[in-house]
Structure 1
């Protein structure tokens, strides 16, 4: 057989008219795909499929957003992994800490680009369906550029903006973060004009107008475009979209598999434990893992890998106020595992299979563990198939964003901003701001400072804090950095002008002369 193949190849080299074409029957090629409405829908589903990749929301992106913030840290025995949450970057190509998330972000963009490039030429039975496909692709591409801008964006031309299906040899030019933000805004403007306000039950988890407006507001807020962000959020809070959203009655309903896609969900990532072993994480696995892994990586010792854990100041902050019945904030019970949790709350004396005696063990003493999205409420273990949906954008987040915009604009009402925060506090039976924080209801500057704590109490370990700290300028001044150091000793390693952005993986810089490394790397 080898001799026959060698003869065939040699003949092709000698006879210019010979045209041998080999097609893998298991692969669909572009020239035979992207022909039908079903192809377009499958291509779009492939973009959503990126939510199941370890470089993104199933695992590693939380190390960048949660553990690098002042809310959490890593004491992993895997030294290089832990170093990447405390701003000690040696190998810029470190796969789990940097390059995997960067790579998967651009892979998701590549998939979205295919949908946006080929779908306009496909005939649909209903053109509205085509519009919806394109709108979702614009939203998803914007989401991944949003992450790239937050994590790697700088004033240098360090990030490629790719808007067409790419080839392996392409070397796109680099763009600064302002240009990336503009691309996010443009994509989301298109998405808003193309998406429905809601989906039926069979399409839960798909992007909507509300999701696009909320994400566009996040983008605008990072650039301090407060008035424009406020206008986007008005649709969800006081406008037409308000009919679709509200606060769930029970705070914990946002973190279990029992009340998913509820009224508080603005954009929710859909996970399940349907495909267990031998399901894998690879790009081409036939039965990919559809669960999220973060709880396995953040689980307490003996349950998970404990590669991430919470900062203890959060417990103190939760306990700094009592609710209207003289008890602790119920969000503390849902958010954290900590010593004394059984004393502070009834029916709170188990961590999966472990009782409170665990806090006497050397590997538990003095530590606080992340509870959000943990499955301890119905089973005594974690694994790589946690089925709990990630609520990537919650309506409570939208309300707090809108309050921030109101306080940052001359047209905004401080009273309205306070009312929004009070509504969120009322859900968990906490007193109004005026009771314990009278300065926050009298002055916009004081309100904005209090809002920094309110956002953490409501949203801790939901991937919001890194963007918050960056937007509030705490990375940019000695005063801001000193504040962070008081809460998180890892910030003693933080260098202003450097660590607010991650280094671009070295391989990307080496292979593309059009990209610049970020400042001070």
Structure 2
């Protein structure tokens, strides 16, 4: 896939918006292609699909700002950025709904990605292919990617327009309730499942597989409390076609560096590269990297716009391994004041005086360099098998199969030499609530700062019940600003509401 993404940005698809009576002015640009000229050949179709993947590299999405929405807005992190408006958008103080970096750019890039999916789905069926299987697969990739972007839009804004055809400037799409958004996600994933393979060859690594589809099906079902459907989706990994395909890697750190990417634990990951070092536009040298390490790195190395809440350090230290050692995940998850004393690690090889501040270490590049920049090449593991194991345990517990759920948590704990859950916490027994309470912490320890926590908090109802919210606020004081029924979703960009009579602003905004 990394070979493929180098070719992604050569695609330029433009519209002829106006015509002119003056023939001298009606001259086609020889350096661009019109819609009528494109979407003719198999290669056009492949480039069109590749252009969907290029949206991962846009700042509103997975190169930069979405981590502020999914990680820093959760109880895992916060922002002490001197850019006050940026920080306010991680602490539920939304004043300007048109704030570009906090809201508008992510909305724009989300629908731009959906537009690219819709372009493929509208035009690719009309192209003749020698290999019908490849054609079906490319269409399935577009369906999967559309579902993926709607999934994150559902987590962020909830009540949004569902656009299924290539947009035109005059379109005024209708807003749909969250339940209909979930239905659309399910429909796209069902279609994708029919034609995606179990795995790809080396030249196509990074494209979605059946496992990726099943993972997002399970995630979507779980956000709706559809536990039986979620179990059926996750069964794929344990008793279905995907059984035995995935496994935990021995070295936990391998999930966050560029040295062992697309490994046996990877279900779906974004293929980042530091080869191109251009801007974030559509030029041939546009960046294909992530900016996350630059924005989250410790003060003096990066911008330190994102910091971790220190409660997680105490959580890691509350239980030792079977060897009486600290949980190795702490070492690879966080930069914290006693890191060198605990593990002998110096942050980027330097001595730091940072008080009590805690920073995210996952995806940082201190393992081989002394600084950060805007061109980090570490692939982002959007779905790991460890996450699948913990989701399966949660689903089984919700279905009254608590005793059967232990084994899947224990696989995750065993990798880092933690005792079996029933040995470490015998008081849980077969009590579903006690099991869930512990599972919440197990997910935090394993998946901290991997952009799943916001969905977790919403799914567990921790942001809808005053007593549960108080517990979250005890870990993260930003949640003292959280308003139940309002802050659970972002406001829709106000400019979208004002320009489209079919859109209403989200409740209480």
Q: TM-score, normalised by structure 2?
A: 0.95
**1:371 pairs with 2:365:** no
Whether contact under 8 Å (1:504, 1:517) holds in the other structure is: yes
Q: Which of 334, 354, 359 lines up with 1:336 in the alignment?
A: 334
State the secondary structure of the residue aligned to 2:269.
strand
1:417 aligns with 2:405: yes
Deviation at 1:379, TM superposition (A): 0.5
CA distance in 1 between partners of 2:485 and 2:267 (Å): 34
Aligned to 1:87: 92
Contact 1:293 1:383 in 2 (8 A): yes
Instruction: Determine the structure 2 residue equivalent to 1:299.
Output: 297
- Give how far 1:105 is off: 0.4
Q: What's 2:487 paired with?
A: 499
Which residue of the partner structure matches residue 280 of structure 1? Answer: 279
Q: Secondary structure at the match of 1:268?
A: strand
8 A Cα contact 1:399 1:421, kept in partner? yes
Post-superposition offset of 1:415: 2.4
Deviation per CA, 1:21-51: give whole Å up to 9, x if none: 3311122111010011101110000000001
* Aligned positions of 1:34-183 closer than 5 A: 34-153=39-158, 158-183=159-184
Partner residue of 1:382? Answer: 372
Residue 430 of structure 1: SS of its match in structure 2?
coil
Deviation at 1:19, TM superposition (A): 9.6
Unaligned stretches of 5+ in structure 1? 1-8
Whole-angstrom CA distance in 2 between matches of 1:430 and 1:44? 43
Matched, 1:520 2:508: yes
1:426 equivalenced with 2:431 (yes/no): no
Instruction: Tell me how far apart the structure 1 counterparts of residues 504 and 481 of structure 2 sit (CA, whole Å).
Output: 24
Q: Alpha-carbon deviation of 1:475?
A: 0.8
Q: Which position in structure 2 is the counterpart of 1:408?
A: 398
**Once superposed, what is the RMSD of the aligned Cα atoms?**
1.5
Aligned counterparts of 1:262 and 1:439: Cα–Cα separation in 2: 36
Any residues of structure 2 matched to 1:193-212 within 5 Å, and which?
193-212=194-213
1:510 pairs, out of 489, 498, 503, with: 498
TM-score after normalising by structure 1: 0.93
Q: Residue 217 of structure 1 corresponds to which residue in structure 2?
A: 218
What's the offset of the Cα at 1:369?
A: 0.4
Whole-angstrom CA distance in 1 between matches of 2:148 and 2:373: 27
What's 1:3 paired with?
Answer: none
The whole-number CA distance in structure 1 between the counterparts of 2:456 and 2:187 is 22
Deviations 1:436-462 (A, max 9, x none): 211334312211111111001000000
Match of 1:352 in 2: 348
Deviations 1:334-356 (A, max 9, x none): 000001111212x41x111422x
Instruction: Mark the runs of 5 or more structure 2 residues left unpaired by the alignment.
Output: 1-17
State the alpha-carbon separation in 2 of the partners of residues 221 and 95 from structure 1: 31
What are the superposed Cα offsets for residues 46-79 of structure 1, whole Å, 9 maximum, x if unpaired?
0000011011011100000000000110000000
**SS at structure 2 position matched to 1:316:** helix
Q: What is the distance in 1 between the residues matched to 2:405 and 2:221?
A: 18
Residue in 2 aligned with 1:238? Answer: 239
Residue 238 of structure 1: how far off its partner (Å): 2.8
